[in-house]
Structure 1
């Protein structure tokens, strides 16, 4: 008798005992989920399979019908936590599942094993969904760090560890696992069989090209892997044989539960099968991992290719002229669609899905894509429109599925061009750095605690609803400003100004200098013939729309320190005037590329991110803009300033970037600040007259200036909202008939 048969007998005996005892309410908890699957001649159950380049679903009536897989990647965390903490509750999962299902998606993808509550919640959610449930694709993480460090997929016990993880994940999906709960890992008793709602297995992570190349060199001449369910072809590289063995392991383990599901491994543009003559970086076109070099040999559910494809990375999307073949209708080219077409032409005999794609809604930006499809710099409306257009591109090019990255915003994430400034790294989840675009890919906005309480609209009446101990106020901080209010949350420092006269940016220009530590620079251009007892780190400029921004002191300029003469020296030598002028706040988006280290030369590129956008943060307003930073109305001016623009490395522990010279590896260091000292002044544009706290004096002691202080925090408050992109996806999904 098979293991599966024994489990079923025990299950029905248990149900019978419960019924005899009259405790019928418990039956619901243990009864296997209702589903209609296909049974093969040996009794193996199937719900999905591949045929040619089609992905098929069994309809329960004897027919296999092609479907388009459409859905989202689902993370394992919420603000204030890292993924290994697995903080999501049943309430979270059930709410998200309903929203995703209502959006018209048919699948969610998870990257690794979640806690038992995930699988229990999904089965519970699907109980009444009949033949229209929400399916899931289960991922298995590879030993990513070990692979990169060893540069050998067969070394350091990696294959054995990977196989053990595969076994664990498969057992968890079928409710047959009991493992200790250890920090950083999912664990507990897995008793819910979620196999009926599984769509496919998604093995591994994005592969480091140097690791792949080295694995192939070290194991050159190795015979292709031959397994019971999956094998490598004669054309397979040693690394592709490694992948075949892992797929075979997953299939063998699933067979013990009497099921078969389609299988794939993770891939991305960096290790794709195409050649990109216009890509300047060698490692981005170094080696290929080819899904056609792995074959199912005794696996009826089949196999498909899966790629992560974003429209802005690698640089080939805006530099490779071989992709500039499809006009985008805006005077440029849709290189994303052109890439999809080439990749699909190669994988003409097996299904292919894009299982990660999308753009974030963030102030920060880190890569430039054609047609404005950048990695960041979009508000929520723009994000939704771009994501919908990318989804349509994938569908139109004959792919079998599109799984958007990502369902929820993730505060713990990092990005290459801000991660050096987020110190300590293990506190990233305690605050929302809107300059880090990776944090805001979600369809669901995970906003900071006061984002619903303080609406940026130029009206300060909602400040009165805050507890008094959360707001610090000062009267008559400078001539022309009758009151200044300051508060904060996990993402912003909020500033409310009440003026003596209506604010008119055509007639006056306001400044708010900020000081967080000894040092800094004197604002000689903005405050001529005046002296402060200590220098400023940043300067908030409030005027016309194009003028309003946060500027950084020249000696404190992160950008210049990292990429200037004493850093990587990718920026030109500063002019004398720039060494005393407060500078626009910038982020790098592309580093200098120079042969022979790269194929072709390309200049350093950066983007100004300190500009403050005027608008409203009221989600109920038709003019809502998620990137809104300030607004004015009559005598009132209201701002919210991202923490990092004021020099903060971690506001939750009051850490600011200090002035220490860059250390080895161009790393920054921090110190704990006593608070933010504000220095406000107003300049009359016509007369150039300055109204400042020093009155008729030419010097000002900052010790007498308003200083905003707060307590460190270890827990966070956050808000949760569906972005407008939710409805964009709902609309595009509704038109996809397969």
Structure 2
């Protein structure tokens, strides 16, 4: 008996181990989520109904408004192909997203397995209030644009395979080989996140020339009559192709026992509306109309998905036919007008705005009405505009609104700064002039964000220890000057000889990066330097400072001289012109008929304005755009790298004086920068009243730093816009009644 007892004990121990292993590997399968089933047993959790979306909950179908955030695939120091977000990051973010009031996350492509694993684990711990997601399926964008033909067999095969891979990844039934250079994730997908899926969005924003080219090449293409999706009479060739791709997604998903609503990605550029006041022909060239496609034998249904921003295309600003309605504040609003017109164009199906928002950045790329520009906002302004846009979308009877975006992404490019930086280095520094990087409500700030506060208090500099450099120089009006840096800024702290009083004295800080520049200027009365300055900071006002750029170094003028800028005075092109100009970015090109529908002037904005304020987010008067502050005799500043002419501070690369070739600037490697300070009082430079000798800039110390190559530190924290959006989202408990009565 004792022998048999020992045997049974060992057997039980082995069985327990096997059961534990089986439970570990199979635990992703055991997910409890309420859903209904179709006649053939297929699960349905979400469905479309008329112009609305519904969720099956408490044994009934209930109206559902998708209020969510888009989520990118990476963090600072990484490009999208590296997909470096950890499982811990995701679980922390999911809680923050739900706390904000969102009920859904939209992702654009197959994520690394960690995303799906983290979501399943998070939702298992929140069974009564799960966080859902929208799975995007990335189209072969580059090949589509290059070939201008969606029916190209290689494009078609690649996209169909991507669709099948995405479905398998969501249901935890595949192993994919990662392709870091192309941005494709990979690994072992074993966690079944399918029950937490809200819908599919197939594809990306469609390039209009490609759509038109496809329609023309395949005008005689037969109608597509798929098992679950088909095109309606009158559909274009591209719309038939879209029906095929959505049918591929449906046929693949149903094999896993589920159905979810499906849409294809779309944007204003390829909407079905006419924009008579749009100057660019391409922005109103062709449409991809969701109403030309229908779902059949797909109980989860079909909806329309659009990216809608208030500043692009330009008709939002210039087209009077879209300035006919008032918003909830009683203002004439082209965005509100557009929302209503777009919804009216889809009378029998739900429409979701799956991207909206503005960035918190110094840089600006487009101007919109009611101040809703693409950039130029601080975090508070960003949140207020985003909240207004959400209210307009919800109030217009849409089925959902997905904010762009959750986290800042340093690698992003913008059309009006991408020629000033190095594409393969964007992920390694924080360029606040590139607005596309800063749409997030979760900020990703440079590493000294929580070490130095711009507040006129030098105590945080003392805590830096050796991570700063004293610039040893004897300059009248300055007792001492210190410098340090991080991934976003050059920081300066100066102790003045007397309290700052711009009514009596103007403070100047010139910056010398490379040979050339201005050795004299009106801001240097009676003084000549022995080495030129590329940029100049002027503090002569209580509230605002200004960054200026030497006229012959002016990147903006050099790039756009033949593209719409007024004729440039030949004197400005000369070295040591003595002229410092405002630092500007373009916001639209010069457009002339017949290249455009009508003439449209070149537009630019000044971005060198330096706001005085406090950069400490714990203060009630916090301003994320604050660049300087002074209290008594302590002056603190942070200067964005690009305003100093850097194309990549991580490799000490500065744009040089050579003319741009093919709209791309050449760069020069430097050792560091020289800071040249002086004070002007009574139209004289302090300490230089009686000197005829050139000011010895060449003997001033350089501030130098080590390349940081690919090692990036950053600070993650919610922006002010997060709390503003939290309040706005939590006010929305469901969809509004369809005002059209459809």
Into which bin does the TM-score normalised by the smaller protein fall? over 0.9
Structure 1: how far apart are the matches of 2:257 and 2:688? 78
Task: Give the match for residue 696 of structure 2.
Answer: 701
**Alignment-derived partner of residue 671 in structure 1:** 668
Partner Cα distance (1:157, 1:328) in 2: 46
CA shift digits 1:109-140 (9 cap, x unpaired): 00000110100000000003224210000000
Q: Which residue of structure 1 lines up, in the alignment, with residue 606 of structure 2?
A: 608
Q: Distance in 2 between matches of 1:242 and 1:570?
A: 43
Counterpart pick for 1:169 among 135, 155, 166? 166
Following superposition, the deviation at residue 241 of structure 1 comes to: 0.5
Computed over aligned residues only, the root mean square deviation of the Cα atoms, in angstroms, reads 1.8
Number of the residue aligned with 2:512:
515
Q: Distance in 2 between matches of 1:603 and 1:522?
A: 34
Q: How far has the Cα of 1:593 moved from its partner? A: 1.6
Residue of structure 2 in register with 1:312 after alignment: 311
CA 1:482–1:335 in 2, change beyond 3 Å: closer, same or farther?
A: same
- Is the partner of 1:207 in helix, strand or coil? coil
Of residues 578, 584, 587 in structure 1, which corresponds to 2:585?
Answer: 587
Distance 1:637 1:153 in 2: 58
Q: Deviations over 1:4-62 (max 9, x none)?
A: xxxxxxxxxxxx9658756798488445221111111111011001111110100141x
Alpha-carbon distance in 2 for matches of 1:22, 1:670:
60
Contact 1:545 1:613 in 2 (8 A): no
Structure 1 unaligned runs (5+)?
A: 1-15
Q: Give me the TM-score of the superposition, normalised by structure 2.
A: 0.94
Residue 324 to residue 576, structure 1, CA distance change in 2 (3 Å): same
Q: Using a 3 Å threshold, how does the CA distance of structure 1 residues 373 and 216 change in structure 2: closer, same or farther?
A: same
1:96 aligns with 2:93: yes
Offset, 1:652: 0.3
The answer as to 2:423 corresponding to 1:428 is no
1:60 and 1:611 map into 2 onto residues whose CA distance is 55
Counterpart secondary structure, 2:419: helix
Distance 1:79 1:693 in 2: 46
* Number of the residue aligned with 1:688: 683
Which residues in structure 2 correspond to 1:77-96 (within 5 Å)?
77-96=74-93
Q: Residues 278, 365 of structure 1: CA spacing in aligned structure 2 closer, same or farther, 3 A cutoff?
A: same
Deviates more, 1:696-705 or 1:341-350: 696-705
Aligned length: 715
The 5 Å alignment of 1:324-403 reads 324-328=323-327, 333-403=332-402
The match for 2:463 among 457, 462, 465 is 465
Q: 2:107: which partner in 1?
A: 110
Equivalent of 1:712 in 678, 698, 707: 707
Compared with structure 1, are the counterparts of its residues 577 and 25 closer, same or farther at alpha carbon in structure 2 (3 Å cutoff)? closer
**Deviation at residue 591 of structure 1 after TM alignment:** 1.3
Distance in 1 (CA, whole Å) between partners of 2:496 and 2:583 is 27
Distance 1:156 1:231 in 2: 20
TM-score if structure 1 supplies the norm length? Answer: 0.94
Does the CA contact (< 8 Å) of 2:275 and 2:319 recur in 1?
A: yes
3-state SS, counterpart of residue 242 of structure 1: helix
For the pair 1:244 / 2:243, whether they are aligned, the reply is yes
Cα distance in 1 for residues equivalent to 2:268 and 2:440: 22
Q: Which residue in 1 is equivalent to 2:738?
A: none
Query: How far apart are the structure 1 equivalents of 2:363 and 2:201?
Result: 31
Alignment check: 8 A CA contact 1:477 1:484 kept: no
CA distance in 2, matches of 1:331, 1:59: 37
State the partner residue of 2:282.
283
| Partner SS, residue 498 of structure 1 | strand
Structure 2, gaps ≥5 residues long:
1-13, 735-742
1:300 Cα shift? Answer: 0.9
Matches within 5 A, 1:389-538: 389-423=388-422, 425-468=423-466, 470-538=467-535
Aligned to 2:67: 70
Which residue number in structure 2 is paired with residue 8 of structure 1? none
- The 1-side partners of 2:139 and 2:97 are apart by 27
Q: 1:502, 1:617 → 2: CA distance?
A: 21
| Offset from partner CA, 1:581-606 (integer Å, 9 cap, x none) | 10010111111121111111121111
Question: Is it true that 1:539 corresponds to 2:536 in the alignment?
Answer: yes
Mean Cα deviation higher: 373-382 or 183-192: 183-192
SS at match of 1:138: strand
Match of 2:651 among 643, 650, 653: 653
Distance in 1 separating the partners of 2:84 and 2:16 = 33
> CA 1:547 to 1:729, structure 2 compared with 1: closer, same or farther past 3 Å?
closer
- 2:53 aligns with 55
Deviation at 1:649, TM superposition (A): 0.3
Displaced runs of 4+ in structure 1, greater than 6 A? 22-25
Shift of residue 728 of structure 1?
A: 1.9
- Residue 627 (1) aligns with residue 620 (2): no
Measured after TM superposition, the shift of residue 677 of structure 1 is 1.0
Work out the CA distance in 1 between the residues paired with 2:368 and 2:207.
Answer: 22
Which of 722, 727, 733 pairs up with 2:729?
A: 733
Aligned to 2:552: 555
Using the TM superposition, name which of 458-467 and 169-178 deviates more.
Answer: 458-467
Q: CA deviation at 1:489?
A: 0.4
Change (3 A) 1:693 1:362: farther
Q: Structure 1 residues 230 and 692 mapped into 2: Cα distance closer, same or farther (>3 Å)?
A: farther
Shift, 1:328, TM fit:
5.0
Shift of 1:735: 2.0
Q: 1:218 to 1:521 in 2, by over 3 A?
A: same
Displacement after TM superposition at 1:474 (Å): 2.7
Q: Deviation of residue 69 (structure 1)? A: 0.5
Gap change, CA 1:632 and 1:176, over 3 Å in 2? same
Contact 2:107 2:134 in 1 (8 A): yes
